Chain A
Amino acid sequence: SQQGEEDPQALSIQEGENATMNCSYKTSINNLQWYRQNSGRGLVHLILIRSNEREKHSGRLRVTLDTSKKSSSLLITASRAADTASYFCATDRAEYGNKLVFGAGTILRVKS
Chain B
Amino acid sequence: EAQVTQNPRYLITVTGKKLTVTCSQNMNHEYMSWYRQDPGLGLRQIYYSMNVEVTDKGDVPEGYKVSRKEKRNFPLILESPSPNQTSLYFCASSLTYGGYNEQFFGPGTRLTVL
Residues of A within 8 A of B (CB): 1-4, 29-33, 35, 40-45, 48, 88, 90-92, 98-105
On whether the beta carbons of B110 and A40 are closer than 8 Å, the reply is: yes
Is B70 an interface residue when CB atoms closer than 8 A count as contact? Answer: no
Interface size in chain B (residues, C-beta < 8 A)? 27
What A residues does B105 contact at CB under 8 A? Answer: 42-44
Looking at the assembled complex, report how far the CB atom of B110 sits from the nearest CB atom of chain A, in whole angstroms.
7
On whether the beta carbons of B98 and A92 are closer than 8 Å, the reply is: yes
What B residues does A35 contact at CB under 8 A? Answer: 103
A29–B98 Cα gap in the complex (Å)?
11
- CB nearest to B105 among chain A residues: A42
A102–B44 Cα gap in the complex (Å)?
8
On whether the beta carbons of A42 and B99 are closer than 8 Å, the reply is: no
On whether the beta carbons of A30 and B42 are closer than 8 Å, the reply is: no
On whether the beta carbons of B108 and A104 are closer than 8 Å, the reply is: no
On whether the beta carbons of A99 and B42 are closer than 8 Å, the reply is: no
Which of the residues A31, A32, A41 comes within 8 Å of B108, measured between beta carbons? A41
- CB nearest to B91 among chain A residues: A42
The 13 sampled A-B contact pairs (Cβ below 8 Å) are: A2-B45, A4-B42, A31-B99, A33-B103, A41-B107, A42-B90, A42-B108, A43-B92, A43-B105, A98-B99, A99-B45, A99-B97, A101-B45
- Chain A contact residues: helix, strand, loop or mixed: strand
Looking at the assembled complex, report how far the CB atom of A88 sits from the nearest CB atom of chain B, in whole angstroms.
7
On whether the beta carbons of A1 and B59 are closer than 8 Å, the reply is: yes
A92–B94 Cα gap in the complex (Å)?
13
On whether the beta carbons of B42 and A90 are closer than 8 Å, the reply is: no
A104–B44 Cα gap in the complex (Å)?
9
Contact string against A for B residues 35-63, beta-carbon threshold 8 Å, 1 for contact and 0 otherwise: 10000111111001000000000010000
On whether the beta carbons of B90 and A43 are closer than 8 Å, the reply is: yes
